[in-house]
Structure 1
Amino acid sequence: MKSAFLTLFFTLSPLWPLGPNPLPGDPLVIVNLNTNRVAFIHGGEVQEIYLAATGKWGQETPEGLFTVTVKVINPYYRKLNIPGGAKTNPLGSRWIGFDAYETDGRKYGIHGTNRPELIGGYVSQG
């Protein structure tokens, strides 16, 4: 059975990419797949909690400990050839990619959206 609280987390360590494991007090993001909430933790304390959309059935959000490998402002959406910054870009204005399933931060990540009404649902592609 999935944990009700810690289902996916990865580091946003300022030491990245030098250290593979988070150190106590390092920035951390925890995604709760049961409630579609994302907690940002820094200095061992929850700083913010946000509502998020997670993967739909058949394209579930990966679970595990991951490291951020890519940070992009106005990411390009390769699947539909949509340039970064375009109003039609489903990734919104930010992409924080992580190394799930050895994808080097190019397939799985936390990102913005151009459809805020979908936030809170199981609608994304991972």
Structure 2
Amino acid sequence: MAIVRNNSIMRVVMLLCFSTALLSLSLKWYTSNSMNPAISNQTKNTDKNLTKPLAVSNKLPGLLQIPNKSVTQPIESNSGTTNLKQTSQSNVVRNQNYVVVDLSDRRVYVYHTDQVIASYPTGIGKKGWETPVGKFNVMHKELHPAWRHPITGKVFPPGPDSPLGDRWIGFMSVSADKGEIGFHGTPDESLVGDSVSHGCLRMRNADVRMLFEQVSTGTSVEVRS
């Protein structure tokens, strides 16, 4: 009687084990076949995108597209030669400068906010053509200027032999026939410091080039006796 009972229990246990294994296989099969197709396709597409090369855009989002041009563009002066366009910052600095010419010691002083930042020797007007005293403003600047003699009317073209050198900074208009008074260079620097000009302020070429960069149209010029 005990043996029969034990066999029955063993059969029940084996049936439970078999049923459990069968149920586990059924659940696994059902789960794998009932997966959402959309999720599966999305996963496949994501895998494809990971191996796809990125397209390079010609424009960067959020950045200003700068044209292929030089930041400093050349502009023509009155004589047809070129000069670099001045930046707004440079113009602000130059507009804060002012020039004082002392005829007694024949020097040009450049001030910036009441401090002398440069000093240059200068020639002044000879007897009968004295350099005018007073307060003026720079009227115009010119590279490689031509010059017309105030008496003979002869015109001297730009070049190494020009009486004005290669820079002109005009600050006073004399008359329609006599032109302007201003700073300029010279082909003969040995005369700088003497009373030899027709009223202009004759400077060494290197000095007038520096002054040219330190002033702008409108810069104050005061000539003192």
Fold shared, TM-score > 0.5 on shorter chain: yes
Q: Which runs of 4+ in 1 moved over 2 A?
A: 99-103
Higher relative contact order (CA 8 A, sep 6+): 1
RMSD over equivalenced CA pairs, Å: 1.9
Please point out which of 116, 122, 138 is paired with 1:52: 122
Q: Is the 8 A contact 1:62 1:100 kept in 2?
A: no
1:96 aligns with 2:166: no
Give the whole-Å Cα distance in 2 for the aligned partners of 1:74 and 1:36. Answer: 24
Taking the TM superposition and a 5 Å limit, the aligned residue runs for 1:101-116 are: 101=174, 106-116=179-189
SS in 1 for 2:164: coil
1:28 aligns with 2:98: yes
1:7 matched residue in structure 2: none
1:83 aligns with 2:150: no
Q: Is the 8 A contact 1:66 1:100 kept in 2?
A: no
2:191 matched residue in structure 1: 118
Give the whole-Å Cα distance in 2 for the aligned partners of 1:66 and 1:100. Answer: 10
Give, in angstroms, the shift of residue 26 of structure 1: 2.2
Q: Which has the higher strand share?
A: 1
Give the whole-Å Cα distance in 1 for the aligned partners of 2:175 and 2:146. Answer: 20
Q: CA separation of 1:109/1:63 partners in 2, compared to 1, >3 Å: closer, same or farther? A: same
Q: Which has the higher helix share?
A: 2
Provide structure 2 residue ranges, at least 5 long, that are not aligned to the other structure.
1-90, 200-225
Identity %: 38
For 1:52, the aligned partner's letter is T
Please identify the structure whose Cα radius of gyration is greater: 2
Give, in angstroms, the shift of residue 101 of structure 1: 4.7
TM-score (norm 1): 0.73
